[in-house]
Amino acid sequence: MHDRPPMADVRTPAEFAQGHMPGAFCLPLFSNEERVKVGTTYKQESREAAILLGFDLAGPKWSGFIRMALEKAPDKKIAVHCWRGGMRSGAMAWALDLYGFQVHLVEGGYKRYRRWVLDQFEKTWPLSVVGGMTGSGKTKILHELRRRGEQVIDLEDLAQHQGSTYGTLGRLVQPSQEQFENDLAGQLYRLDRTRRIWVEDESLTIGKRIIPRTFWNKMQEALLFDVQAPLEVRVKTLVQEYGTLDRDFLEESTERIRKRLGPEQTKRAVGAIREGRMEDFIREVLVYYDKTYRTGLRGRDAGRIVQVPVQDGRVEENAMLVLSAAKTSTLLTEI
């Protein structure tokens, strides 16, 4: 996967959208509708009839394929794959080779790649988890750890969601489940398994995306560094992050957790949103999120939770406190 040539995925746009290799570009031999026609012909008539139909459909498009390939791979070195290394990729590879491309045909296609992706989550990864109640600055601490040379996987960035009912921020669009897994596996592959890898404490789901269960189980077993920030610091942080969001979005998101918040608390939270009392809104919903976090902590091994008290929202200092706690924990483990 390192230093590979541009990767042309010749499956349909719909297949590509469902999931693709990170960095690949879509060079579809058939449209979504055309692939259905070819598949139907294969089943109802014969393989030969399907091939002929395929050539009829693709025939007028070959020059366009070559021009797009030249845009993506001007040095004429390219990799090509379809679902399992069959006729679609073979036909595209033939045409590009005829034009003078140096073509690498990916053996096993996307199907084999997906097996590789799922295998990554079965491996042992040296995880350390940054936890803490909502507003404790976990994500910012992760980014600071990365800036300091630590290995970090930002699951919320991969999932394009901040993890709560407000997690889309009214603008983020989540990738497909398949693409989320592909991107996570790709990032893991680039990391050094002999060094610590930091992730943020998450529930099994981030918005509508699900962390692969085997990987999430490893997160649950890892050391959790519980960043404990004062309530007032957390409220201030959350007002800055969420207070400027669209009020209709905030209200709709709050209504989605009405059953968990309770009718009276929901009423107070929505009223605060409508009146622009963002601090009051944050305090109302934090009651629920703090309770949820404490419940999650009780499900962990208490001996693998390291408390990291912080006094304010200064990210650089808080990241250093986490690193110091991690160093101390490592020394105690080695003694």
Region class of 72: left (phi > 0), else alpha (psi between -120 and 50), else beta: alpha
DSSP 57: H
Region class of 22: left (phi > 0), else alpha (psi between -120 and 50), else beta: beta
**The pair of three-digit structure tokens given for residue 170, joined into one six-digit string:** 């009214």
The dihedrals phi and psi of 9, each to the nearest 5 degrees, come to -100, 110
Among 38, 82, 91, 158, which one carries the catalytic annotation? 82
- Give Cα separations from 101 to 8, 27, 58, 95 (angstroms): 12, 15, 19, 9
**The pair of three-digit structure tokens given for residue 153, joined into one six-digit string:** 């996987």
| Whether 144 contacts 321, CB under 8 Å | no
Strand order in the sheet with 223-228: 151-153, 197-200, 127-132, 223-228, 305-309
- Residue 146 CA, chain-centre distance (Å), reads 17
Taking residue 114's Cβ as centre, other Cβ atoms within 10 Å add up to 18
**The pair of three-digit structure tokens given for residue 334, joined into one six-digit string:** 């080695």
**Active site (annotated) includes residue 26:** no
- Give catalytic residue positions: 82
